[in-house]
Structure 1
Amino acid sequence: MSIDKFMEDAVTGWMKSSGEHADIVMSTRIRLARNLKGYRFPIAFTAEEAHKIDEAVSTALLNSGEKGYAYMKMSELPLLDRQVLVEKHLVSPQLTDSKRHGAVLLSEDETISIMVNEEDHIRIQCIYPGFQLENAYEQADTVDNYLEGQLPYAFDEAFGYLTSCPSNTGTGMRASVMMHLPALTITKQIDRIIPAITRLGMVVRGSYGEGSEAPGNIYQVSNQTTLGKTEKEILADLKNVALRLIAHERRSRELLLSKSRVALENKLFRSLGIITYARLLPSGEAARCLSDVRLGIDLNIIEDIDMSILNELMVFMQPGFLQQYAKAELTAEERDIFRANLFRERLRPDRQQEENNKEK
């Protein structure tokens, strides 16, 4: 399978369909951290050890006959291709550092990503659309069980799976949901909710994980504890917190509609106007406007725009994909111009009608 396939398709698997509570929960991710017995962690291993780990993991997966994995070595990919893989949430930013001897194996539908030699020897990632914690975990667990049957994992009876960072020791599992929370952000309730979630043993980050911002009112909520709890307990705790957030967001949306409908409609349609007609469109403004239009569609205020187009633009608007699409390196201003042109083209009424006719 060619790298070109993953570069050309802007909308990755989890964006092409929807799951439960899809108006708020955009995706569910399970990530399992694993290491091989007898090797030092990536922070201290040698190039020779990295090569042996890479070879062992990739051979096991490519010979499995499952999912049609594609193998990519980070050091052999152009910087722009690596950036696009990050923007599609297929790899972490840390993996793209070529000095880390990193590689990735991707399933054809892009729901499964196995990162090799990131912070740990193996990072199994499974992403599903909408709110599907149990389904995503079952898929990740299936891959994990297969690899554990082929490779010797570093495991301790007292501490569980041994990981490079002590905070991942135990189950080695990070479960997360990516949530669109515009109403909680508009009403500023998110500022008091985040500390409360932290006290429950969860962490709230931006859409690209630790240290990232939350452009477009998109937040990633995940478990903070991996030791002392089973996988089922972690999933149950996260599910409980996510359902509370969903309920709070729905109430905030209802409040905005009942108390400030005209002001809300004005805000949402202004944002639609910007992304439909702007000639310069910075990434921050594009993210904010896409969030507003998404909210408008979910509230049935904005009609005749397919959500899949917004999902596509979420990826296309980012620097790596813009330059990949333009087939040229672009300055910041050139990206703002190109982004505006791209948005106008995709949101043209006749273009949307063409897309609808194709689906029929």
Structure 2
Amino acid sequence: MNLEHFLKSEAPGWMDDKGLDADIVLSTRIRLARNLEGYRYPLSFTEQEAKQIDGVVSQAVLNINNDKRIFSHFTIKEMPLLQRQVLVEKHLISPLLAKKEKSASVLLSSDETISVMINEEDHLRIQCLLPGLQLLETYELANKLDSHLEKQLPYAFNESFGYLTCCPTNVGTGLRASVMMHLPALTMSKQIKAVTQMLARFGMVVRGIYGEGSENLGNVYQISNQVTLGKSEEEIIDDLQNIVVQIIQSERGAREALLKKSKVVLEDRFNRSLGTLRYARVMTSEEAAACLSNVRLGVDVGIINDVPLSVLNECMILIQPGFVQQYAGTTLQPAERDIFRAKLLREKLNVNRQSSMEKGEEKYDV
């Protein structure tokens, strides 16, 4: 497949609104860090070594192509910066890979559920993404690909320490499991700080929507494990699963409490946000994310009935700076992006509204 297939604005498969606990859990991600024996790590290798690793790993992945999941290979240096940014915004590559100047590449599965990043922080990183809460299923998908590659590639492995990685915090299993969660009620009720502190005690970490170093946007958080050494993959998955289930229960409890305490205030908040998205002429990404978060919560609790989650998922991708400029077909200054972003949101949400009205689905309270 060509790169244009992966640059389209439609929400990727991992944002399917039919996943388990999709009202709170947007997606599940498994990432496995691996290196090849006999090569220096990306921090210190030469351009020639980088090219050798890229060739060896790419061929190994392409060797396992099948009819169900076809991989396409793309070289990072050959991509314009805007296209790299779009792939980051769709979570198909990491921000670090997007900045690489030496030979680095990515192999993407046709359904966008699997990325193999080459010469990022490690020689290769296998990333698998599925919608909703599917930790075991996502791990099995990543592990299957990892097992295929391990038969072809000489992984750097130590009997005492496990898989060897560039950063010591990834040594051992090399496994980072994470769940992307929408937690507006815990945020609004100011309980999110206590949740973060609780997670730290259990060896978990809370990050922003794009992982390490990124900020919370639209009340979306990534919950992931910090420990990769001294625990098996199964233990890491089980621990995170148990924690996430507790957070889901806490978020649902917080939503019920907010509705019980101030339903009319929430109805006003949700509908004001929807009105802003449908009629505003200028919109920053932060404001757009906040409004989308409010509307999503309104849909989840049954107050807003005429906006499908699939449309909100697409808008979450659409509001990002890279996508806004891709739609515009040119590089835009921040103020220009804010105007064009508002235009895109008006079009998406009002087209959907018109469709609902034509079908007789839109209801009004009198």
Same fold (TM over 0.5): yes
In structure 1, the residue matched to 2:19 is: 19
Q: Which 10-residue stretch deviates more, 195-204 or 1-10?
A: 1-10
Aligned ranges 1:120-159 → 2 under 5 Å = 120-159=122-161
Q: 1:38 to 1:337 in 2, by over 3 A?
A: same
Please state how far the C-alpha of 1:63 moved relative to its aligned partner.
2.1
Please state how far the C-alpha of 1:99 moved relative to its aligned partner.
1.6
For 1:45 and 1:190, how far apart are their aligned partners in 2? 41
Aligned ranges 1:193-342 → 2 under 5 Å = 193-342=195-344
Q: Is the 8 A contact 2:306 2:356 kept in 1?
A: no
* SS of residue in 1 equivalent to 2:178: strand
Please state how far the C-alpha of 1:263 moved relative to its aligned partner.
1.1
In structure 1, the residue matched to 2:363 is: none
Amino acid at match of 2:54: D
Aligned ranges 1:152-167 → 2 under 5 Å = 152-167=154-169
Given candidates 91, 94, 111, the residue that maps to 1:92 is 94
Give the gaps of 5 or more residues in structure 2.
360-366
Residue by residue over 1:185-227, the C-alpha shift from the partner in whole angstroms, topping out at 9 and shown as x without a partner, is 0000001110111111000000100111111000000000000
Amino acid at match of 1:57: V
Q: 1:130 to 1:339 in 2, by over 3 A?
A: same
In structure 1, the residue matched to 2:44 is: 44
In structure 2, the residue matched to 1:111 is: 113
Q: Is the 8 A contact 2:100 2:120 kept in 1?
A: no
Question: What's the TM-score once normalised by structure 1's chain length?
Answer: 0.97
Please state how far the C-alpha of 1:39 moved relative to its aligned partner.
0.4
Please state how far the C-alpha of 1:8 moved relative to its aligned partner.
2.1
Please state how far the C-alpha of 1:17 moved relative to its aligned partner.
4.4
Please state how far the C-alpha of 1:351 moved relative to its aligned partner.
5.7
Q: Is the 8 A contact 1:100 1:118 kept in 2?
A: no
Amino acid at match of 1:327: G
Q: Is the 8 A contact 1:170 1:227 kept in 2?
A: yes
Question: What's the TM-score once normalised by structure 2's chain length?
Answer: 0.95
Residues matched between the structures, number: 357
* SS of residue in 2 equivalent to 1:64: coil
For 2:234 and 2:276, how far apart are their aligned partners in 1? 45
Structure 1's consecutive aligned runs of 4 or more residues displaced over 6 angstroms after TM superposition are: 354-357
Residue by residue over 1:253-281, the C-alpha shift from the partner in whole angstroms, topping out at 9 and shown as x without a partner, is 00001011111111111111111110101
% identity of equivalent residues: 57
Q: Is the 8 A contact 1:112 1:125 kept in 2?
A: yes
For 1:265 and 1:355, how far apart are their aligned partners in 2? 21
Given candidates 171, 182, 207, the residue that maps to 2:173 is 171
In structure 2, the residue matched to 1:63 is: 63
Give the gaps of 5 or more residues in structure 1.
none
Residue by residue over 1:118-147, the C-alpha shift from the partner in whole angstroms, topping out at 9 and shown as x without a partner, is 000010000000000000000000000000
Q: 1:352 to 1:142 in 2, by over 3 A?
A: farther
Given candidates 163, 182, 185, the residue that maps to 1:183 is 185
Q: Is the 8 A contact 2:122 2:166 kept in 1?
A: yes
